[in-house]
Structure 1
Amino acid sequence: MSDPGAGPNAAPKPKGGSAKKRNLLAEQELRLLSTLVLLLGIGLFLALPFVLSIGSVVFLPLTTAVILSVLLAPLADRLSAWGVPNTLASVLSLLIFVAIVVLAFSAILQPAFSLFDRLPELIEQIGARYEELQAEFAWIANANDRLADLVGSSGGNEVVLAGPSVFQQVAISAPVLLLEVMLTFLMAFFMVEARGRLRRNILFGRTSFGTSVKAARVLREVQDRVAAYILTVAWINLGVGIVVALGAWAMDLPAPIMWGGLATLLNFIPYIGPLAMTALLTLFGLGTADTVFLGLIPPVAYVVLHVFEANAITPAILGRRFTMNPVMILLAFSYFTWIWGAVGALLSVPILLMLTAFFDHIGRPNLLGFIFGEPLFQTPLIELDAEGNTGADAATASEARPG
């Protein structure tokens, strides 16, 4: 019996050589497209700071509102589950957040203003401590003078340009700051209030069911990860602030609640915040203590507490889910601090968490492997069998094999 597929009009079967050639061309095309995507990403990374800094009046409130809406959405959902209307639940969640922020800053700023009156006394005390240290290390100054005599130095007149005072700077920036705060809270309210419609649009507004499910998972993962991280870190930092306040009270430092509040707020900024807290305690300790040794006790005690918290308590509570590369944290911190200053420093870790959760679902770029010839993304777009055929060619080849 003759094979009906063996007639003169039968299509020729693909040969192995042509299939491998098509696979090679497809891989080259994919690598070219990946290179273009990588170059566009690098260009966007370098150009984005200038765009965001110039348009900070728009982009900074928008970014802050997005993070606030992610943080406040679980609270609004809980209030809605208790029977509170959606709009009222959104307003209440925002008011609770504002009340916490106002109480925190009042606990810090009010004692800080009273300590500001003692600033001349502290400066005089720090000068006395400096003279003591200078007398102990006078040989370094003598060596520096001798080196300057050998090298030679030329003096000249210095021109000092008078700049605006602190109060003038505050008066100039107050209207812009007020506008940004109002925009932030308004956008955060509308985002929290529209969270249900956004979820329904993501689920039912897609043409593909698989795309809808994946988009909903990304949204839920971003919200859960950022909200859980901020709330967990807030509780840890509150505990650190309580310990610092108790330690300041035990060491008879003035305004222990202020020191506890500063420790809580600065601990939200990885690495840089604890360093700033250590510097403040060092300056204040040297300015109020009778000796240098007693002045260094508060900063040393805080450093011991921070080392224990950062290496034992925080990793044990957060776990591996929220573990991030320290290099990426510092990069995000410097990147967003360069763009938006102190507010960008506070937003750097939540933004990094959102990007990490997003790339966990769409795939992280394999930058190092791409340099050595691997695909840019680990998801294989072209799957080859043992003989170098693609998925379709492998099916054809398996049908052509005997048996």
Structure 2
Amino acid sequence: MSEPGGEAERRPDKPPRSTGGSKKRTLLAEQELRLLSTLVLLLGVGLFLALPFVLSIGSVVFLPVTAAVLLTVLLAPLADRLSSWGVPNTLASVLALIIFVAIVVLAFSAILQPAFSLFDRLPELIEQIGSRYREMQEEFAWLANANERLTDLVGESGATEVVLAGPSVFQQVAISAPVLLLEVMLTFLMAFFMVEARGRLRRNILFGRTSFGTSVKAARVLREVQDRVAAYILTVAWINLGVGIVVALGAWAMGLPAPIMWGGLAMLLNFIPYVGPLAMTGLLVLFGLGTADSVFLGMIPAVAYITLHVFEANAITPAILGRRFTMNPVMILLAFSYFTWIWGAIGALLSVPLLLMLTAFFDHVGRPNLLGFIFGEPLFQTPLIEEADESLTPSPNG
């Protein structure tokens, strides 16, 4: 006859049978999750590569929609402020859109009107640049002689150059004007209806979900995207306005014609990262060489602008925007080249706001861990995976 406590004392020595089964099920679940993550990653890469062709072919549809979404994100806070003052929702949406259009029209009129007057001086500027080029060619005559000697040694090819005549600038503008006008009209119409329906959209997000947690998370994502993009665009607009004022004052002090035009160009081009300041520098170099008496004097405006841009980009903008809006320069250039490839100059303007929207979205739903996924980590770190990892990790007490 066994002792009463013997069986109870022997039971703890036996390992539980469910532990091995639970670990096996967890490992199988991780393998299935990794397989699904691989399929999701491959689909994402395929979508990333195929999306430019779809968006570029259907730019008449997709470009106005994208621009209207960004305008809605930018103008919704202004419409909300007007509504808080007692203005009806429809009228507040119309006023917000009218204020935006008025600012854009004033900015372009300040730039285009002096630009047309400078366009009349284009033959004179070209002749002056040609004389500067001849002066530089005389200074570097030894390089031309070396090039001629190298050509004599290598030998000239008998290829014939064929030049195909293409449409002129005015013909291209006349061809693209109707499409551009249609896209602008569609953009503003969709932006108006989106701004006017912002309240209903928020209510549908909050009360149209079956789960309260999903509704709250969706509302937070919408609010974060709207606040981050609107705050970024407005902050950058104020910084670029300051840059435009400084450039206009500098152009006036240096005696350049139409200083407001130069300030407006500096402001608008500063919205395009990296490429915009380079284009502004090139314009100042060409204009300086075409109007100054010497190459040294012609380079002064460009050098002054480069100094201002370096100070603004490395001291003022990071201090004002802070870490919340800090983005990887590689990602900025990738987004710039990606959307410029799809939509040209308009895509270049929309690249940074679109990148900011995607960044705010992934901050809430989770960013893909691409590098860690290659070495065996989960593609998306979720609470279930974290709990499973903790259960598989042995405790310090054994």
1:193 Cα deviation from its structure 2 partner: 0.1
1:388 aligns with 2:389: no
The aligned counterpart of 2:177 is 174
CA displacement, residues 101-151 of structure 1 (integer Å, 9 cap, x when unaligned)? 000000000000000010011001111111111111111111111111111
Equivalent residue for 1:360, pick from 363, 370, 376: 363
Corresponding residue for residue 68 of structure 2: 65
Q: Distance in 2 between matches of 1:33 and 1:83?
A: 51
Counterpart in the other structure of 2:128: 125
Q: Is the 8 A contact 1:241 1:259 kept in 2?
A: yes
Structure 2 residue corresponding to 1:37, chosen from 40, 43, 48: 40
Task: Answer whether contact 1:226 1:354 (CA < 8 A) is retained.
Answer: yes
The alpha-carbon deviation at position 389 of structure 1 amounts to: 8.1
For 2:391 and 2:75, the matched residues in 1 are separated by 54
**2:242 counterpart of 1:242:** no
What's the CA shift for 1:297? 0.3
Q: Does 1:346 align with 2:340?
A: no
1:84 aligns with 2:63: no
Q: Gaps spanning 5+ residues in structure 2: where?
A: 6-14
- In structure 1, distance between residues paired with 2:326 and 2:113: 36
**1:142 corresponds to:** 145
Alignment pair present for 1:318 and 2:321: yes
CA-CA distance at 1:381 after TM superposition? 3.0
Residue 386 (structure 1) shift: 5.9
Q: Specify the SS of the correspondent of 1:378.
A: coil
- Structure 2 counterpart of 1:327, from 321, 330, 342: 330
- Counterpart of 1:52 in structure 2 is 55
Greater mean deviation of Cα atoms: 378-387 or 176-185: 378-387
Matched-pair contact (CA < 8 Å) for 1:267–1:273: yes
Task: Name the CA shift for 1:104/1:21 in 2 (closer, same or farther; >3 Å).
Answer: same
CA contact (8 A) 1:87 1:193 kept: yes
Q: Which runs of 5+ in 1 are unaligned?
A: 3-11, 395-403
Query: Which of 23, 28, 33 lines up with 2:26 in the alignment?
Result: 23
Partner of 1:398: none
Cα deviation for residue 379 of structure 1 reads 2.4
Instruction: Please list the CA deviations of residues 255-298 of structure 1 after superposition, one character each: whole Å capped at 9, or x if unmatched.
Output: 00000000000000000000000000001001100000000000
Look up the SS of the partner of 1:296 in the other structure: helix
Asked whether 1:254 is paired with 2:257, we answer: yes
1:104 aligns with 2:107: yes
Q: Distance in 2 between matches of 1:297 and 1:389?
A: 65
Query: For residues 387 and 333 of structure 1, do their structure 2 counterparts lie closer, same or farther at Cα, with a shift above 3 Å needed?
Result: closer
Find the aligned partners of 1:167 and 1:313 in 2 and give their Cα distance. 40
Q: Is the 8 A contact 1:23 1:389 kept in 2?
A: no
1:165 alignment counterpart: 168
Separation (CA, whole Å) in 2 of partners of 1:58 and 1:205: 28
Which residue identity lines up with residue 225 of structure 1 in the other structure?
A: R
Matched, 1:155 2:152: no
CA distance in 2 between partners of 1:211 and 1:220 (Å) = 14
Distance in 1 between residues matched to 2:379 and 2:307, nearest whole Å? 43
Contact 1:266 / 1:276 at 8 angstroms: preserved in 2?
yes
Asked whether 1:278 is paired with 2:281, we answer yes
Name the SS for the 1:269 alignment partner.
Answer: coil
Partners of 1:162 and 1:333 lie apart in 2 by: 31
- Report the aligned-residue RMSD: 1.8
Matches within 5 A, 1:197-212: 197-212=200-215
Distance in 2, Cα, partners of 1:374 & 1:380: 14
Correspondence for 1:399: none
> Does the CA contact (< 8 Å) of 1:19 and 1:389 recur in 2?
no
Q: For residue 388 of structure 1, what is the amino acid of its counterpart?
A: L
d(CA) in 1 for partners of 2:192, 2:285:
41
Q: Name the CA shift for 1:340/1:386 in 2 (closer, same or farther; >3 Å).
A: closer
TM-score (norm 2): 0.93
CA distance in 2, matches of 1:269, 1:387: 49
State the alpha-carbon separation in 1 of the partners of residues 324 and 141 from structure 2.
52
Structure 1: which amino acid aligns with 2:46? G
Deviation at 1:64, TM superposition (A): 0.1
Identity %: 88
